[in-house]
Structure 1
Amino acid sequence: MPISTTSEGRKVWQHQTTRTEILQWAGWLVLVALFVFCWQVMTKDTIWAFVYDAPKQGGDLLARAFPPRLDYLPELLVPLWDTLNMATLGTLVGTIIAVPIAFLAASNTTPSRLFVRPVALFLIVASRSINSLIWALLLVSILGPGLLAGIIAIALRSIGFVGKLLYEAIEEIDEKQVEAVSATGASGLQVIDYAIVPQVLPSFLGITVFRWDINIRESAILGLVGAGGLGLKLQSSLNMLAWPQVTTIFIVILGTVVVSEWVSAKVRKAIT
């Protein structure tokens, strides 16, 4: 802590030096200037008349959206089932592919840190860098509309999520157990089976259930690009400006997410 001396010879304790305070104020000034510049760039094409009218338009939209059309619920049962199947199958396929990739990406289990590990890490990063909605948009243009495109999109997105968390869990295992099993003359697969898998299994189950919970939320909107499920009904209702139906779909999505969150929490609690 710096000390200054007054003309009377009395020592005065300072929290910071004058130079440090000037640098801090200069930093804040640069930050404010950067914020103002970014705000101008983001709002240069904004039509402020629409912004000022937004509360009125939002209130009018809410008035037309309530009460929800509850007699529309029976038509949502099949799309809801499709959404759950899309999330479940996509999670299953993605997890099956992610497990070997995670073992190849982990520094303590990869057969080659120079060649194999970078390729596995690249696959994980590539999967995580593209949102499932973008995957679905690309796959619908290739495979056509339907659940298959949604399932593959969910799977491709899940590979990176599960693979990253799983390979990090593998790298954090207790190496003493690996050494103990290896000392018995066990093969590489036996070491994985008896020393590594038991340590990472709880984490793996938790990661998979957590990803399934996320995929239910994502699969509910993939129909907006033609991948089926509740999103398809949502897109149709939005195109017809059927706001009471939109509200009903939102209620169903909310209820589904709440239930999946509860199931996910129970399962994670049971395995920990």
Structure 2
Amino acid sequence: MPVREYNELKLWQRRTGRESLFHWLLWLTGVAIFAYSWQQISAATTWFFVWDAPRIASDIWTRATPPRWSYISQLGKPIWDTLNIATLGTIIALILAVPVAFAAARNTTPSKLFIRPVALLIIVSTRSINSLIWALLLIAIIGPGVFAGVVAIAIRSIGFCAKLLYEAIEEIDETQVEAISATGASRWQIMAYGIVPQILPAFAGIAVFRWDINIRESTVLGLVGAGGIGLQLSSSLNVLAWPQVSLILLVILLAVVISEWVSAKVRGAII
């Protein structure tokens, strides 16, 4: 750090003059970008509705309370469908993610030049598109219903599970693999006895974590026709049945809290 002398008094400075100038230029650039972005957002915003939002929210709250408790009898099957969508989608994704992960990991891929790039492309492409978009595409292909929701959740989860799993594979202890290789074991025996036991805890944690996420995602797939409790929510919103909407939101919240508790207990048991 530079030191300046003023009347034989040495003063410490955090940055040089050039560094300070560069620092302030960064701040000015950030402020300019923020001001420009705010100008664009402001021009595209109807501020009358924004200022009127508290009154609208209060009116909706008044209409939505108390919840219509008698409607709870019609939510049993939809919430069960939602749980099935999340569970089946997670299982399918895990089955498909395992070979993709082994193909993507540097230490297990059969070919770093051809197979690994394809596996990485699958991981990136499935993770980059939201489950709602997948659901819309699948509904157009196979029609609305629970099956479209299951496939949408599965496709969306493949990249997530495969990415975390192939990273766990690359971080294994190679000494165990080398010890098994020294015995003359085949490639499949090395994988079964040297790699799989090391990644099983990570695999179990990934499975539970992704299932917890899929519970949340599956609750809204019904908004686009992919089944589950989101379908009931969409129907109630369309007819402005606010007491039913508030009850459905409470049921979704309860399902998410229970899934979070279950996943936390399972992860705690695994770790």
TM-score normalised by structure 1 residue count: 0.98
Distance 1:90 1:10 in 2: 70
User: 1:207: Cα distance to partner?
Assistant: 0.1
**How far apart, in 2, do the equivalents of 1:165 and 1:42 lie?**
36
**Which residue is 2:5 aligned to?**
5
SS for the counterpart of 1:12 is strand
Tell me the SS of whatever aligns to 1:16: coil
Q: How does 1:35-46 map to 2 (within 5 A)?
A: 35-46=34-45
Aligned length, in residue pairs: 271
Shift of residue 28 of structure 1?
1.1
Identity, in percent, stands at: 63
What is the one-letter code of the residue matched to 1:110?
T
The 3-state SS of whatever aligns with 1:43 is helix
User: Superposition pairs for residues 112-127 of structure 1, below 5 Å?
Assistant: 112-127=111-126
Secondary structure of the residue aligned to 1:128 is: helix
Q: Residues 59-118 of structure 1, C-alpha deviation per residue, up to 9 Å, x if partnerless?
A: 111111111111111100000110011111000111100001100000000000000000
Question: Unaligned stretches of 5+ in structure 2?
Answer: none
Question: In the TM superposition, what is the alpha-carbon distance from 1:20 to its structure 2 partner?
Answer: 2.4
Deviations 1:164-199 (A, max 9, x none): 000000000000000011111111111010000000
The answer as to 2:145 corresponding to 1:146 is yes
Residue 109 of structure 1 is matched in structure 2 by 108
2:3 counterpart letter in structure 1: I
Match of 1:21 in 2: 20
Q: List per-residue Cα deviations over 1:35-56 (Å, max 9, x = no partner).
A: 0101111221211111111111
CA–CA separation in structure 2 for the residues paired with 1:11 and 1:237? 73
Aligned to 2:236: 237
Q: Distance in 1 between matches of 2:10 and 2:80?
A: 76
Match of 1:132 in 2: 131
Amino acid at match of 2:2: P
* Aligned twin of 1:60: 59
SS in 2 for 1:97: helix
Q: After the TM superposition, which parts of structure 1 deviate over 6 Å for at least 4 consecutive aligned residues?
A: none
For 2:219, give the aligned amino acid: A
Give the aligned partner of residue 169 of structure 2.
Answer: 170
